[in-house]
Amino acid sequence: MLNTDPLYLDLIKIAVILLSSFIIIKWAIYIIKKTGNRFNFEPTLIQVLIEIIKYSIIAVAITVVLKEVGWDISAIVLSLGIVGIAVGFAARDTLSNFIAGLFILADKSFRVGDIIELSGQSGKVIKLGLRVTTIKTEDNKIITIPNSTFSKNIYINSTAQETRRVGLDINIPYEMELEVVVNSLVETASNCKWTLHEPKPNVLIKEMTDTGIKATLNVWVCDPWKVATFRSQLALKVKGLLVIEDVS
C-alpha cells in the first residue's frame, strides 16, 4: 500500500526536484558546449556560461526545496534582494568589467597572442580574463587593463590582419632624379629579408615643399611585433640614397 505520510511525500518531491535539476544541468552543459563549438566560441566564454547556468539552476532548485519543506522564503528573497542591491552598487565597476570581458570573448575582438594598442600603450595580450586584460610591451613591461576600458575607448588590434604596413617618411631633394630615387628605394626595400613580396613595396608621393618632395616608403611585413624595428632597419638601408626626414 502506498505510503501517504507527509514526510515521505516531501522526501519524494525533494528527490524529484534534485534529480530534475541534475538532468537539466547536464542537458544545459551539453547544449552550451555544442553551440559554443559550432560557433567557435572561446573556451573561457563557454566555461563561464556553463557556470552561470549551473549555479542559477542550483539556486532555483534550493529555493523550490525550501518552499516544499515549509520555509517562508519571502523574507529570505527580500533580504537577498537588499544585499544584492548593496553589493551591486559596491561592485558596479567589477560587474562592468565582467560584462565587458564576456563581450570581448564573444565578439573575439582580440585573443591571447594578439598585439593591441590602447591610449598610446601597445603590447601583446598574455592573459585575457573576465575582469582585466594583461598585456606585455616590447620592453617587457606588464600592463593590466580593466575590460570596461575597451568598451569606452578606441583600440587597435595590429594582428587582426595577416600583414602589417611599415611606413617610412622621407624627403627627396629636388637635386635628385625622382624616378631613379623611387626605383632605388623600392629595390632596396624589396631586398630586405623580412619584406613581403605581396603587396609589393611602393613609394607614395605626398607633397612638394621648400626642401624637397615629401614621400612615404611603404613595405609590408607579417610580424606586427617588430614594426618599429623594421622601420629602423629600413631607414638604415635607404640612408645613403636620400635625406631621411622622419623615422618615427
Reported as a single tens digit per residue, the pLDDT across 132-181 is 888 888 788 898 888 888 888 888 887 656 677 888 888 888 888 888 88
Grid coordinates standing for 212?
A: 624637397
pTM of the model: 0.48
What per-residue confidence (pLDDT) applies to 1? 47
In the chain, the percentage of residues whose pLDDT exceeds 90 is: 1
Across the chain, what does the average pLDDT equal?
77
Rounded Cα distance between 229 and 122, Å, is 14
- Convert the pLDDT of each residue in 202-247 to its tens digit: 888 888 888 888 888 888 887 766 777 888 888 888 877 765 444 4
Q: CATH assignment of 6-90?
A: 1.10.287
Domain ranges, ordered by start, for the chain: 6-90, 107-157, 164-246
CATH of 164-246, one of 3.30.70.100, 3.30.230.70, 3.40.630.10, 3.30.70.1290: 3.30.70.100
What per-residue confidence (pLDDT) applies to 245? 44
Record: fold of 107-157: SH3 type barrels. (2.30.30)
